[in-house]
Amino acid sequence: MERIHVTVRSRPLSSEDAKTSPWRISANSIFIPNHSTKFEFDRIFGEDCKTGEVYEARTKEIVAAAVRGFNGTVFAYGQTNSGKTHTMRGSATEPGVIPRAVHDLFDIIQQDVDREFLLRMSYMEIYNEEINDLLAPEHRKLQIHESIERGIYVAGLREEIVASPQQVLDLMEFGESHRHIGETNMNLHSSRSHTIFRMIIESRDRTEDGGGDSVSSCDAVRVSVLNLVDLAGSERAAKTGAEGVRLKEGSHINKSLMTLGTVIKKLSEGAESQGGHVPYRDSKLTRILQPALGGNANTAIICNITLAQ
């Protein structure tokens, strides 16, 4: 697989936190002055950066590669209240990674006169290790299946054929309204589930008939999948004040994030290509994303952080 690209985005600090934070950013490193602790990444963006810069760092290339037939996955990762959902969804004045990717996807396709495309989208959440369809809220506790024809798939998950960026974003907005959120000490609107926003891209070569009109050829259809994943925030119960239902949610969130970390570590060490075991089946998240993590897939992680103490 391609090397996983890791981008870090630092959330703006309050004036009070800015006075007490020990962390500093220099180029693509985060460190504490006069201390041996230092972390280096592919790109680091400070608090003044725009989402467009984060998107251009790697996600834009992954979107273009998906049109060419390569599976791709982009994760937004970070603790509760670090700005993940803002990075992925954005706002009316500053579009996030998902709307930028959707617009780019349609722009690239419209410029390709040699191929005919069909786009489908799905939107699901994983809540307490249960899969819910955000486009069909009545479809809950869906199951993962695998077949020779379809590979790994979620049975009963609605896939909508889409023809414009606005249609996609309207469907996403509908799905978002059914996502599980809850209040913790760290965030009044904390996402309590992982969400996978997925675009399925099918294409085949065009040919021309005798009259010069384009018709579809009988050549093989090329299919690729683009996953844009908003991970629920990693958290510590002592900080969030979680108890009861919130504590159970946090436990499932942290377990699946740990599995994702293990899978990515194994892949980066070459376990899959060397015939070693990669624990995709240890969580619903990694099992669903298995085809878009291994093999020839492109993967990027956007780590949203706060430098507050």
Known binding-site residue numbers for ATP:
78-85
Residue with tokens 């969400």: 195
CB 125 within 8 A of CB 193: yes
- Output 20-29 pairs: Cβ under 8 A, ≥24 positions apart: 20/308, 20/309, 21/307, 21/308, 21/309, 22/309, 23/307, 25/307
- Binding-site residues sit at 78-85
β-bridge partners, 122? 198
* Rg for the chain, CA atoms, rounded: 20
CB environment 236-258: b (16+ within 10 A), e (fewer): eeeebebeeebeebbebbbebbe
Distance CA 38, CA 36 (A): 6
Report the Cα–Cα distance between both ends of the chain, in Å, rounded: 36
How is residue 278 written in tokens? 């990669």
> Using CA atoms in the order 161, 165, 171, 174, what is the torsion angle rounded to 10 degrees?
180
